A and B are shown apart, each in its own frame.
Chain A
Amino acid sequence: MSNLQTLHAPVAKPAEQTAATPPAPSVSSTQARRRVLSARRSPRRRGSRTGYILPGAVLALAVGWALLPGVFAPADPIAGDAAVAMSPPSAEHWFGTDATGRDVFSRVVHGAIHSLSGALLAVTVGLVVGSTLGIIAGSSGRIVDDVIMRIVDVLLAIPSLLLSLSVIILLGFGTLQAAVAVGVASIAAFARLARSEVVRVRRSDYVEAAFGSGATFAQVLRRHILPNSTTAVLALAALQFGTAILAISTLGFLGYGAPPPTPEWGLMVAEGRDYLATAWWLTTLPGLVVVAVVLSANRISALIGRNQ
């Protein structure tokens, strides 16, 4: 209400100042409305199919790197040729070479398997443990629900990097440990989603009807709750996949992941840090690959969530 009352006094000046192109306020208001509507609609219209193409291609390429690294990059990722050490990006070495003459592009390609399989393991840990906790919480009585959700509250109260570090300090360093640590940090998100989906679907009429016609909870879970929550869980899994790649590369950068000379993306950036002044390609290019993959995963997650 106060908005409307104070509206008359100060509005004249800004309206004149900005009225250079739209002559009348009414025009600017319809423009604005159209703008709001188009902002809301246009991604949905476009996003149905075409939106998947670019991020999908990036992820497909990354998967290709992980599965068949030799096809995409024939150069050896571990053994280097000292004669070409520290050469900048060229037609021969797309991402340049490092201090021991190893081809950086080849290392990035061979590193894909570490990041992708680690992220896959992390999402699996989060998905399986989290969803199980969430489904138990959502389908049990109040006490079990309360106990599980308080544990989830604790997991949420600790910043995810600190949670991952707590797991790592217990399990030790390594690719596998880093992946599990990242997965533990995503349990809470999956648990909350699974619980809310169970509670949501459980309240619907057809589930009541299914119970009424004598179905057991396990049957209802399998036939109604799980199929109905697939999209939401998938969107979260895609989002967590991107987050996991980012988190695993962060742990690798801090030196808690795979040991050298493993071509892990975060570790590569950490190793290139000593040559910042002379060889920008050692840090910049592997990092750009991480950005592209994470951005694509996030984009696909957003599209799945929108089409829901």
Chain B
Amino acid sequence: MHYLLSRLGQAATVLLVAFTAAFLLLQAMPADALMIRFESPELGLSPQQIADLRIAYGVDAPLHVQYWHSLSGVLRGDLGYSIESGTAVRTILADALPRTLTLAGLSLVVAVLVAFGIAFAAGLSRFAWLRSALRAAPSLFVSVPVFWLGIVLIQIFSFRLGWVPVINPGPVEGLILPVLTLAVPISAPLAQILVRSMDAVSLQPFVTVTRAKGASELWTQWHAVLRNAVLPTMTMAGVLFGELIAGAVVTETVFARAGIGRITEQAVRTQDIPVLQGVVLMAAAVFVAINLTVDLLYPRVDPRLRGKVAAAR
């Protein structure tokens, strides 16, 4: 219980520091962007109206009042308003989330399949050249720029082979190439850690015993090695989430798909700080939540750790 509370406290601290940093950076800007927008002559607001708006948005209030106001807003899920469109950031993100979740979720599934395929085949293959090729694949995947991969896939599958249309594709067809593009950078770190951890497990005495008892290589790899090697990949969940977000920004831009990534890209282009801040805070919150869950679940999944954690408490 004490362990749970201290981990929760740590997670909350990280988020609070993240929010404070974002708030202070926003204050450090030379002029508040919201007011620049309202003061532009195109809107034709009178000085009186601008002054009213300043009071309404609370920009002249002392720093600690603004901080408290903004913090309580974030806690209620109110992330402020976009400078560009004036829409609530929460609405913008909520509208874009489903499409990005579809893309990211499917890519994660494909990436997990690819990573397991690579790791399993690398452990099993009889040919040395194939083993080393499979082992080298993840480090190649890491080195490929996602934006370039997306473009090359469009070039090959849409323009050369004509298999997948890029202009006005159907909902399913429109997902094929983006999912492939996003799956590659996600599968790479997953496969790397899986291969490494399978190597480590292969040297364990119980694997030797399994082989000595006459198990085939396939059976040994599947039952004895892979099952035990999967555990360390759980700790990758947070890192993978970061890769998914970064990949979504690029993939959605390349394929002109609406979503969180596209919103992020446009927010930076138009210097729409509240929107970017909302995305960053959301990403940080999800990252912290994922890591917290993994930390708490890990001893449940791996019985060997239960004693250690209990001792650490």
Residues of A participating in the B interface, judged by any CB pair closer than 8 Å: 3-4, 6-8, 10-11, 14-15, 17-19, 21, 25-26, 28-29, 32-33, 35-36, 39-40, 150-151, 153-154, 157-163, 165-166, 168-170, 242, 246, 249-250, 253-256, 266, 269-270, 272-273, 276-277, 280, 283-284, 287, 290-291, 294-295, 298-299, 302
Contacts and interface: CB of A to CB of B under 8 A. Distances in A.
Nearest to B148: A287
Contacts of A158: 18, 280, 283-284, 287
B264 A162 contact: yes
A276 B218 CA distance: 44
Interface stretch (B109-117, B173-181, B243-251, B293-301): B243-251
Contacts of A40: 199
Given A15-B216, A154-B21, A157-B14, 7 more contacts: A18-B217, A160-B242, A169-B268, A250-B146, A276-B159, A283-B151, A295-B139
18 contacts: A7-B210, A10-B219, A11-B213, A11-B215, A15-B214, A32-B202, A150-B13, A151-B17, A161-B249, A166-B22, A166-B280, A169-B267, A253-B148, A254-B253, A254-B268, A287-B151, A291-B140, A295-B139
A250 B145 contact: yes
Secondary structure call for the B interface: helix
A157 to B, nearest CB: 4
A298 B139 contact: yes
A287 B156 CA distance: 15
Contacts of B126: 21
A160 B218 CA distance: 39
Contacts of A29: 208, 211-212, 217
B224 interface: yes
Interface in B55-76: none
Contacts of A19: 216
B254 to A, nearest CB: 8
Interface residues of B, number: 71
A17 B218 CA distance: 10
Interface stretch (B41-49, B100-108, B271-279, B305-313): B271-279
Given A25-B216, A32-B211, A254-B253, A299 B139 contact: yes
Contact of A18 (B22, B218, B280): B218
Nearest to A243: B142
A39 B34 CA distance: 59
Interface in B193-239: 199, 202-203, 206, 208-220, 223-224
B292 to A, nearest CB: 11
Contact of B223 (A3, A18, A253): A3
Contacts of A21: 126
B245 A161 contact: yes
A141 B250 CA distance: 42
A133 B215 CA distance: 52
A36 B203 contact: yes
Nearest to B15: A157
Nearest to B131: A39
Nearest to A158: B284
Nearest to B146: A250
Given A276-B151, A276-B155, A165 B213 contact: no
A151 B208 CA distance: 45
Given A4-B209, A40-B199, A276-B159, A249 B223 contact: no
B154 interface: yes
Given A159-B241, A246-B143, A269 B151 contact: yes
Given A25-B214, A250-B250, A287 B14 contact: no
A116 B169 CA distance: 39
A154 B21 CA distance: 9
Contact of A253 (B14, B147, B242, B280): B147
Contacts of B143: 242, 246, 291, 294-295, 298
